[in-house]
Structure 1
Amino acid sequence: MRLTDQQVAAIRQVVSAVCGDDATVQLFGSRLDDDARGGDVDLLVVLPEPVERPAMLSAQLSAKISRHMHGRSVDVVLSAPNLTTTPVHEIAAQEGVTLS
């Protein structure tokens, strides 16, 4: 996994502050490959409650986390009871590593 302990802590802090302590975060995509270089940060944020404005929430999380990552691009995929599951959700759930 190509994230520092400080980056993981910052991601968890932002998600907790914005979404609450019950939200979980999984890293997936190219950042899991220790031999790769560069690439954006792909996150699946799983929420136990329905989300009213998912696009706004995703953008807010992405922007806040990106600031902690020195401007690195951050893609946030949300999972909540009222949101449709897509193939990217399945990939993230299968391949993702929970950040704790």
Structure 2
Amino acid sequence: MRLTQQEIQIIKTSVHEVMGENARVWLFGSRVDDSKRGGDIDLFVEADLYEPRDRVLKTAQLWVKLQLRLGEQRIDIILAATQFEKPKLIEQVARKTGRRL
């Protein structure tokens, strides 16, 4: 995994602060593969957020907090579907290939 322990802690802390203590986060994509270089930080987050407005707002707040704490980075955040939605293919890929932080 191509994140430092400090970066992992910043991500986990930020996710919990914004999305709630029960939120879970995975790193997926190229940063999971030690043989690759570069790439953005792809995060998959499961959180108890059901209202569409809250989901959009909290995702934006998390992105801003991570930018401030990690420095300018390319960060993609995928928020898991609610229990009322069908999971998207990207969510299945993130769960299968990602590493929980």
Determine if the TM-score, normalized by the shorter chain, exceeds 0.5.
yes
* 1:22 matched residue in structure 2: 22
The alpha-carbon deviation at position 82 of structure 1 amounts to 4.0
The alpha-carbon deviation at position 83 of structure 1 amounts to 4.4
* 2:68 matched residue in structure 1: 67
Is this contact kept in 2: 1:48–1:81, CA < 8 A? no
Report the more deviating stretch, 57-66 or 37-46. Answer: 57-66
Q: Deviations over 1:11-51 (max 9, x none)?
A: 01111111111000000000001111111100000013424
Percent of matched pairs sharing the same residue: 35
TM-score, normalised to structure 1, is 0.88
Residues 57 and 82 of structure 1: CA distance in aligned 2, closer, same or farther (over 3 Å): farther
Residues 57 and 83 of structure 1: CA distance in aligned 2, closer, same or farther (over 3 Å): farther
The alpha-carbon deviation at position 96 of structure 1 amounts to 1.0
The alpha-carbon deviation at position 60 of structure 1 amounts to 1.8
SS state of the match for residue 7, structure 2? helix
The residue identity in structure 2 corresponding to 1:19 is: M
Is this contact kept in 2: 1:63–1:74, CA < 8 A? no
Aligned residues: 99
Q: Deviations over 1:39-92 (max 9, x none)?
A: 110000001342432233222212211222211111000013244421111110
2: CA distance between counterparts of 1:82 and 1:63?
27
In structure 1, list runs of 5 or more residues that go unmatched: none
TM-score, normalised to structure 2, is 0.87
In structure 2, list runs of 5 or more residues that go unmatched: none
RMSD: 1.5
Runs of 4+ in 1 over 3 A off after TM superposition: none
